[in-house]
Amino acid sequence: MHDLWSSASYEAHLLSLPFALAPTALLIVIAYAAAMRGSTSLRGWLLAHCLSILPYGIVVMLSPSITSAPVATQLFQVAAAFLPLAAAAGTGFQLALVRKHRKYRWLIWAGVANAAVWVVVSCTTHAAVDSVHEVNGLWFANAGPWAFIAFLNIVLLALPGFTALVRAALRGRPSVERRQQRLILLANCITYSGLVDVGLAYGIGVFPLGWLLSGIGSLLVVRALVVEDLLRVRAVDTNAPLLVGHFAASILLGWVVLVLLGDRAPWWITTLALLIVFGGVRAAVAVVSLVNRGGRPGEGPLERLLDQLVTRTRTMIDARQIAQLAVDIVQLGVGVSPRVLLATETDWGWTTENGQRLDDAHTPDPLLGGWLAEHKGALFASDLEAVPPDLRDLVTSLFEAHDALAIVPIGSVDELIGLVVVPASAKRLRGRPLSFLERTAERLAEALLHARMAQRAADRANLAREVQLAATLQGELLPAKGPHVHGDVTVVGSWQPATRCAGDFWCVYPLGDGRVLVAIGDATGHGVASAMVTAAAIGACDVLVRRSGKDLQLTELTAALDTAVRRVGGGQLAMTCFAAVLDAEASEIHFVSCGHTAPYLCRPTDKGVELHALVGRGNPLGSGVPAVPRVLQRPWQTGDLVVWYTDGVIEAKDPAGAPFGDRRLQHLLRRLERRKLSPKQVHDLVQAGVTAHRAGHPLADDETLVVAQLGGPPVRPSLAEVPS
């Protein structure tokens, strides 16, 4: 082993220069993948693949310059040892490229473990490489007793990745992604064809070609990285270049120190000197980083455009005008014309920056709202690793519906205000343009929130005077908590006013023939004026139920409620409402929504609790726009739970100001799993979770919560099962 590092074993030869093609190309790929931010899985497996091929390229490059046969044997043993690992890492890279690495991660890691065993065996024995022989002025390996088995192992390790990549590249629909896959398939085929050098190990052939083929394949990978944006690069990772520079400088200075000290210095002096060199380089790198970090870049055109967006939106209260201005700013800044989708506050609908209404197929699923609001930065159609697995299909559908390259959420804490959609025609988006787009979305969120607050302040300035009678009247009209048992339907509900009078209400009525009406509403604000509106709505609902009985129609109910709210509110107050008829005999739920938050249908299954948002479209009651919502229906099975709530539940804030949020409510309901809970217990669990989140913080808005279930009495859980 000492001869391996001895200068006497090497003599520089010009024939080594052509063979430097492969190591150089591989080092370019490695440096690019290490220094650029992009898809983590693609970067990791590509780095592992190239680093595993690199020893073979280096050994072939050094082969003409090696003067010792034992040294050449040792080097070829190391080079051959890493080829199975290159095949295993190549399979991981190919499966990541076609987005199947999560599904087959067990296969990938099994291959890596297999290859790791070969690294040890080939480096320590003559199993793969027995000796070397000279071929036209350079050394090449002679096959060991297990060389053919190692060759077959490489082929088997590479086969799953090639199979998946060939299928995706040949059968996929035309797209940028398929073009990337075809280019990588070509590069991999050329690189792996370098295995033809195995013939030289058995005396077949007169010149090695693997170095040339791997070099050409690596150059094709470089083209895919730079031109085709294979890694979906977002920005430069400054940590990787600093780390490389740190170690390079440490090695260079350490070598100089060893030369100066010579062979006579004690080992402890040599070790201390190397530690001082390493620490000195580390300190120098840290100082340079601090100096660079302290520098303030000059204000450029993109920063001036952002300042212009902030300045001009300060006087705007129309969300559409703000969104159109943001589109113009982005187009001027980066040459991309995005679309801005705005979430309406009134009916859970969505519009474009021009006010055009979006159909349901182009709107985000309500289950995405909470996660998108919390997500920071852009999402790319080609890189959805950051998306939770249970939401990935919904995000993919959203990208396909808008043919988008990227989507940037416009959110505030736990509320999704809108989306910036970059069309697929934009080709690439990274570096400063991407950073500018993300900062524009942040400024846009601030401007839209400011406009909302200004509009709400203007609306609430005209609220009616408070009267003490409203609190007493409202308390008498609302039903008790329950449980209210009507045949096979059990309903439990509660409301907590933020002030003495609430703008929320809920009611439950048996209609006969196994049908039960449940309605929940939220009037503008939460003071006495809102309580007057809710009292009128409850009265109208009561009168209509008594008059229509089992023949009650939901469209008739919403029309009566709209009239009552409009008359009492005087056009200044509005109300969201969700009304549902629970039909136990038909096992169906018929419902309408007038701008209210979507309740959840919780269905226990063998895999856990499935959540379905009961989404309906309709204008708030009393808003001046005719409320003619469409009556929808869903199947309702025994054991199913329906959870209604007003926005005060999900907007309940902890002492730090963080809201409870849709996502936290969804997680709480999913944690019910397959336990059989009664409506009262589910109600108390959710209410306890919201109360614990507030941690004594006063209510900012009225909180109303209603739970209904179809089926018999369930088993009561122990206290240990209650989620916190």
Which has more pLDDT, 477 or 344? 344
Which has more pLDDT, 643 or 235? 643
Average pLDDT over residues 310-339: 83
| pLDDT of 719 higher than 80 | no
Which has more pLDDT, 576 or 316? 576
Average pLDDT over residues 316-334: 83
DSSP state of 173: P
CA distances to 385, 387, 399 from 392, in Å: 9, 6, 11
Burial class (CB in 10 A: 0-12, 13-18, 19+), 463: middle
pLDDT-based confidence at residue 241 (cuts at 50, 70, 90)? low
pLDDT, tens digit, 9 for 90 and up, residues 372-385: 888 888 888 877 87
CB count in 10 Å sphere of residue 137 = 9
Backbone angles phi, psi at 634, to 5 degrees: -140, 150
Distance CA 556, CA 576 (A): 16
pLDDT, tens digit, 9 for 90 and up, residues 105-146: 888 888 889 889 888 888 888 888 888 887 777 788 888 888
Dihedral Cα 223, 228, 231, 232, nearest 10 deg: 150
Of 17-21, 447-451, 618-622, give the lowest mean pLDDT range.
17-21
pLDDT, tens digit, 9 for 90 and up, residues 410-467: 887 677 888 888 888 776 677 778 888 888 888 888 888 888 887 776 665 554 444 4
Average pLDDT over residues 177-182: 81
Which has more pLDDT, 185 or 247? 185
Question: What is the per-residue pLDDT for 492?
Answer: 93
Give, for 546, the enclosing helix (H) or strand (E).
helix 528-548
| pLDDT of 285 higher than 50 | yes
Amino acid type, 674 = R
Question: What is the per-residue pLDDT for 234?
Answer: 53
Which has more pLDDT, 212 or 673? 212
pLDDT, tens digit, 9 for 90 and up, residues 326-355: 888 888 877 788 888 888 877 678 888 888
Question: What is the per-residue pLDDT for 462?
Answer: 52
Of 272-286, 534-548, 682-696, give the lowest mean pLDDT range.
272-286
Question: What is the per-residue pLDDT for 707?
Answer: 93
| pLDDT of 6 higher than 60 | no
Can you name the residues that pair with 380 across neighbouring β-strands? Answer: 383, 406
CA 312 vs. chain centroid, Å, equals 32
Distance CA 422, CA 363 (A): 15
Distance CA 374, CA 661 (A): 10
Tell me the percentage of the chain whose pLDDT exceeds 90.
Answer: 4
Distance CA 194, CA 182 (A): 19
Question: What is the per-residue pLDDT for 471?
Answer: 59
Amino acid type, 689 = G
Average pLDDT over residues 162-191: 83
Average pLDDT over residues 393-397: 88
CA distances to 169, 241, 298, 358 from 248, in Å: 39, 10, 32, 56
Question: What is the per-residue pLDDT for 464?
Answer: 41
Question: What is the per-residue pLDDT for 519?
Answer: 92
pLDDT-based confidence at residue 714 (cuts at 50, 70, 90)? very low
| pLDDT of 643 higher than 90 | yes
In this structure, what token pair is assigned to residue 449? 């929130």
Tell me the three state secondary structure of residue 495: strand
Which ranges of 388-511 would DSSP assign to H, the alpha helix? 392-402, 431-460, 469-477
Of 215-229, 604-618, 705-719, give the lowest mean pLDDT range.
705-719
| pLDDT of 8 higher than 80 | no
Backbone angles phi, psi at 554, to 5 degrees: -65, -35
| pLDDT of 713 higher than 50 | no
